[in-house]
Amino acid sequence: MIDTLRLTAEEALGLLERREVSARELWDAYRAAIDERDGELHCFLSLVDEPAGEGVPIALKDVIGTKGIETTAGSKILKGYVPLYDSTVARRCKEAGLVTLGKTNTDEFAMGSSTENSAFGPSRNPWDPTRVPGGSGGGSAAAVAGGLAPWALGSDTGGSIKQPAALCGIVGLRPTYGTVSRYGIVAFASSLDQVGPTTKTVRDCALLYRTIAGRDPSDSTTADVPEVELPEREDLRGVRIGVPKQMVEAEGIESGVKDAFERTIQLARELGAEVGECELPLSVEYGLPCYYLVAPAEASSNLARYDGVRYGLRAPEDAYHAMVMRTRDEGFGDEPKRRIMLGTYALSAGYFEAYYGQAQKVRTVIRREHAEAFERFDVLASPTSPTVAFELGAKTQDPLAMYANDLLTIPSCMAGLPGLNVPCGLSEGLPVGLQLIGPQFAENALFAAGHALERALGFDRVPERLR
């Protein structure tokens, strides 16, 4: 009997290698879990009927282009769109023998923090189906937490991997910008988008990151990546952990989240880490507003290609302009429309310097502030999300409250830095996430620290109601 709620991907690989289970048995186990629970959780937008390989299954967020498998990015405008080519990450997964189970739910074009912006209905949190799984990669996070997939890939622009991982009690890595190819990933904000793993353990995370990372000739913004080391150490001796004052004191952090975070920091000290306070005042104050200039600006341009001319939805109109306008009006939901308008405004003549230009300058300041912190510390630690998973519908009428979910994840995204979520406890019976931030290309340091803490914390990642 395969317990998909507990089985890690690393264990699944072992079972296959030792021929203790067959690839078919593994596939069937996850399909059975999907049949059992996806009706409630709605993690998947599409499923693959027959496994295309003999390896460990994987779920892919629906912004990841997959040849021959519908890829909608959670939008009506791409309903029925079947890519002609594999994204580089999908290809690398295939080459590593991973077998795609299906495509997971996402806020439309990855714009959101709860999956409630998906054109195909929200996903639900396996810990409490009345609550959101976070977003935009809520489908991937809920699928892994709910035992519907051993691991999954997500994409992160301002927190879309880390925040849902936190809300679902699993591990999620947003890698250093430029380490994972964006080729074939439906673009939201090109200077921020990064694909990364959503997994049950830090070691699974390192394994999957190793599979997808590396320079890609099809993506000019990728770089050479240091060799990925699977974490082994169980202590934190010699590791300097900085706690950004402005991040733990930020408004809106729930007390239960703060408590779980502080207990984890205490544990880190016990494991031998040197913990100190550091400062990121400008990053925390300006990170979020700058993000909401840069990301919509790039999105307004990235989403211009959905015009009904070549693929996807086309509204039946005779004249070109009428057709484009109606297609986009009918095809895009409210959130993409809101961001297209914000972004178009921010890039307009006369406003560019004040908005987009200024935001890019602030980005440089945020980078510098982080670099200064890393002169004294190896990793920085903070809560990932200010709150635990919230109820569906709680924030849908208040975009600013929804945007505030990403307050703590956004600054490091703006600086292009890697961030890892490790579940660190419960508050009100719901998971709390620890965010570990490293310097550029320091994924190995994050894995090492995350692994040691994960071992010491002994967090039971199976949702209580499913145990």
Partner 1 sequence: MAGLSWEPVIGLEIHVQLKTRTKMFCACEVAYFDTPNSHTCPVCLAHPGALPVANAKAIEYTVKLGLALGCEIAPRALFHRKNYFYPDLPKGYQISQYDVPLCGKGAFTVPEPEGDRVVGITRAHLEEDAAKNVHVGGTGGRIGGAAHTNVDFNRGGTPLVEIVTEPDLRSSDEAKRFLQLLRRTIVELGISDAEMEKGTLRVDANVSVRERGETGYRTRAELKNMNSFNFIARGIDAEIERQIGVWEGGGEVVQQTFDFDAATGKLTPRRAKEEADDYRYFPEPDLVPVEPSAELVERARAELPELPGTRVRRLEPELGFDLAEGLVASGRDRLFARTPGDRRAVANVLMNELAGAGVDPDAVDGDELGKLIEARNRVPRPVFADAIARSGDEGFSADPFLAEEATSDVAELGPLIDEILAANAGQVAAYRSGKEGLLGFFVGQVMKRTDGKADPRVVNELLRAKLSA
Site residues for partner 1 per CB under 8 A? 63, 65, 71, 73, 78, 81, 83-85, 87, 182-187, 189-191, 217-221, 297-298, 300-301, 303-305, 307, 309-311, 320-321, 324, 344, 347-349, 352, 356
Question: Which CB, 250 or 315, lies closer to partner 1?
Answer: 315
Q: Element (H or E) spanning 424, and its range?
A: strand 419-427
The rounded Cα 340 to chain-centroid distance in angstroms is: 22
To partner 1, the closest distance from the beta carbon of 108 in angstroms equals: 13
Pairing verdict, β 44-47 and 419-427: unpaired
CA distance readout (Å), 301 to 109, 335, 343, 344, 360: 13, 15, 8, 8, 17
61 annotated active-site? yes
Catalytic residue among 61, 94, 162, 200: 61
Which three-class secondary structure state does DSSP give residue 378? coil
To partner 1, the closest distance from the beta carbon of 427 in angstroms equals: 37
Tell me the residue type at 15: L
Catalytic residue among 75, 136, 140, 181: 136
Question: Which CB, 261 or 355, lies closer to partner 1?
Answer: 355
Taking the C-alpha atoms of residue 242 and residue 82, their distance in angstroms, rounded to an integer, is: 45
To partner 1, the closest distance from the beta carbon of 139 in angstroms equals: 18
Beta bridge partners of 349: none
To partner 1, the closest distance from the beta carbon of 350 in angstroms equals: 9
Question: Which CB, 182 or 395, lies closer to partner 1?
Answer: 182
The rounded Cα 194 to chain-centroid distance in angstroms is: 8
Question: Which CB, 1 or 349, lies closer to partner 1?
Answer: 349
Question: Which CB, 84 or 400, lies closer to partner 1?
Answer: 84
To partner 1, the closest distance from the beta carbon of 306 in angstroms equals: 8
Residue whose C-alpha is closest to residue 401's, from 412, 414, 391: 391
Taking the C-alpha atoms of residue 207 and residue 58, their distance in angstroms, rounded to an integer, is: 13
To partner 1, the closest distance from the beta carbon of 194 in angstroms equals: 13
Taking the C-alpha atoms of residue 97 and residue 100, their distance in angstroms, rounded to an integer, is: 10
Start-to-end C-alpha separation, the chain:
15
Residue whose C-alpha is closest to residue 170's, from 454, 404, 464, 439: 454
Question: Which CB, 23 or 192, lies closer to partner 1?
Answer: 192
Residue whose C-alpha is closest to residue 132's, from 339, 459, 401, 333: 401
Catalytic residue among 155, 160, 300, 385: 160
- Tokens representing 440? 């550029």
Which residues are known catalytic residues?
Answer: 61, 136, 160
